[in-house]
Amino acid sequence: MDDRDGKIWKDGKLIDWRDANIHVLTHSLHYGMAVFEGVRAYKTEQGPAIFRLKEHTQRLLNSAKIFQMQVPYDLQTLIDAQIEVVRENKLESCYMRPLIWIGSEKLGIAAKGNTVHVAIAAWPWGAYLGEDGLAKGIRVKTSSFSRHHVNVSLVRAKASGYYINSILANQEALTDGYDEALLLDTDGYVSEGSGENVFIVKNGKIYTPDLASCLDGITRDAVLTMARDSGIEVIEKRITRDEVYCSDEAFFTGTAAEITPIRELDNRTIGEGKRGPITEKMQSMFFDVVAGKSDKYRHWLTVVGK
Ligand code: PMP
């Protein structure tokens, strides 16, 4: 990842990709307190367009606020910077990674007084869980690791250190031959994937866990909005893993994962073991929206321009 052409926005300037380095004594590298976003830009007839840029940037700043990180840039500056990164790298479609971290002035636990830095990189990234996964669904295993507890980690923040939990769960699932992990909360209810929110469909209604222990996903919100607007009832509630086994359909949502059907959980086939009709409807609405083919949700796109 570090050796390629292109530009990265770092602390207010576009610099060469290979020069976007940090010192080994960077506070965030040692203790994991950095916050980040995953954002996607899609190819449209008007050129690349970034999906829900303002919402992602606001969540980034909220994450920083939760950790009392004093970000030296405001919302509009960070929005403009992300547009600039897509444009300057001449990317038709891409994944974008804004990151805010604490500098290397001192390494005590107290981060106060250290500088706060921002970088934004962008690169092409295809289907996170594979094209096949998008079409046919993936095999998922309930993790032996619990998701964060609300009074251990503040889960409204998207923080780097939290992803140790995601990595443990994902590694376990992949080692055991599955495509992704499903994590339960500390009470044993379904929470989310290692980098995705989760949904089930039962008797024509869509269910997803409430936000107590999972990330407030922007794709999750898009699905809830599109489903409600299409007259599909959506219910946010506690869900048990056996409800997932007995659901008609299940799917993951996320910026990287987009809308990926789940065809199996813990070796139980879900529904007919393939992408179900409501999943397919949500997927096709979503891909129309991001391709700029939907007037109704055009306000979710920021066209980058040439
Ligand atoms: N949960 C976790 C743990 C994630 O990392 C992500 C990806 N950001 C999501 C859910 C989905 O969020 P979004 O739709 O905003 O990408």
Domain co-membership, 81 together with 137 = no
Ligand 1 atom closest to the CA of 197, numbered from 1: 10
Domain co-membership, 96 together with 175 = no
Distance from Cα 183 to the centre of ligand 1, integer Å: 13
Domain harbouring 256, CATH code: 3.20.10.10
146 Cβ contact list (under 8 Å, min separation 6): 183, 184, 185, 186, 191
Q: What is the mean pLDDT of residues 75-95?
A: 98
Domain co-membership, 69 together with 218 = no
**Closest Cα to atom 5, ligand 1: which residue?**
195
Domain harbouring 74, CATH code: 3.30.470.10
pTM to 2 decimals? 0.98
Q: Is residue 302 part of a domain?
A: no
Ligand 1 atom closest to the CA of 214, numbered from 1: 1
Domain co-membership, 108 together with 167 = no
Domain that holds residue 142: 131-290
Domain co-membership, 137 together with 253 = yes
**pLDDT exceeds cutoff 90 at 88:** yes
Is the ipTM reported for this complex over the cut 0.90? yes
Domain co-membership, 66 together with 172 = no
pLDDT value of residue 139: 98
**Closest Cα to atom 9, ligand 1: which residue?**
196
Domain boundary among 87, 104, 123: 123
Please state, rounded to an integer, the average pLDDT across all residues of the chain. 97
Domain co-membership, 95 together with 165 = no
Q: In this structure, what token pair is assigned to residue 108?
A: 């005590």
Ligand 1 atom closest to the CA of 221, numbered from 1: 14
Domain co-membership, 265 together with 143 = yes
Ligand 1 atom closest to the CA of 222, numbered from 1: 14
User: Could you tell me what percent of the chain has a pLDDT over 70?
Assistant: 100
Chain segment 262-271, per-residue pLDDT in tens = 999 999 999 9
Domain boundary among 72, 107, 123: 123
- Pocket probe mutation, ligand 1, options 147, 160, 219, max atoms within 8 Å of Cβ: 219
Task: Supply angle C-alpha 192, 198, 200, rounded to 5.
Answer: 140
Looking at the structure of the chain, the number of domains it has is 2
Distance from Cα 106 to the centre of ligand 1, integer Å: 31
* Cβ proximity of 124 and 72 under 8 Å: no
**pLDDT exceeds cutoff 90 at 306:** no
Q: Is residue 297 part of a domain?
A: no
Chain segment 269-281, per-residue pLDDT in tens = 999 999 999 999 9
pLDDT bracket for residue 42 (50, 70, 90): very high
Q: What is the mean pLDDT of residues 116-142?
A: 95
Q: How would you classify the pairing of strands 138-146 and 180-184?
A: parallel
pLDDT value of residue 111: 87
Domain co-membership, 26 together with 97 = yes
Domain co-membership, 254 together with 155 = yes
Distance from Cα 253 to the centre of ligand 1, integer Å: 7
Would you please indicate which residues are annotated as catalytic (active-site) residues?
158
Distance from Cα 161 to the centre of ligand 1, integer Å: 14
pLDDT bracket for residue 252 (50, 70, 90): very high
pLDDT value of residue 142: 98
Chain segment 199-248, per-residue pLDDT in tens = 999 999 999 999 999 999 999 999 999 999 999 999 999 999 999 999 99
Pocket, ligand 1, Cβ cutoff 6 A: 38, 166, 192, 195-197, 214-215, 217-220, 253-255
Domain co-membership, 155 together with 275 = yes
